[in-house]
Amino acid sequence: QVQLVESGGGLVQAGGSLRLSCAASGRTFSRDTMAWFRQAPGKEREFVARIVSGDKTYYADSVKGRFTISRDNAKSTVYLYMSSLKPEDTAVYYCADSRLSIATFRQSHYDFWGQGTQVTISS
């Protein structure tokens, strides 16, 4: 059974930073695409960042230059380092796993999801 467990969320002032972690279990995910999505109150869930097999990374325009996704295959963990945080980054952040080695930003490409972790940025 595949499980993704996010951690690291919290309340931070604007301009601050946070690192989210997503611990995966139940499958070997080193060849998967791992991604982060987020859902703000009253909005649809949106793509934030993904890291494909081979470790190439992709970002939403809204977070490019501020967020960094990385992975540690030995620990079966993917990270999202977020800096220069803005109030509009407030959302529940979800980790997702696609069995495709090079998945896109489309949510339908992702097979497994975590339960989410709340990130709140105060102004």
Task: Give residue-wise pLDDT tens across range 46-76.
Answer: 999 999 999 999 999 999 999 999 999 999 9
Report which of residues 39 and 1 the model is more confident about.
39
Say yes or no to pLDDT of 97 above 90: yes
Distance, CA of 31 to CA of 103 (rounded, Å) = 11
Distance, CA of 116 to CA of 123 (rounded, Å) = 23
- pLDDT at residue 27, rounded to an integer: 86
Nearest by Cα to 78 from 119, 121, 37: 37
Q: How confident is the model over 83-111, as a mean pLDDT?
A: 96
Distance, CA of 71 to CA of 47 (rounded, Å) = 17
- Cβ pair 93, 9 in contact under 8 A: yes
Q: How confident is the model over 86-113, as a mean pLDDT?
A: 95
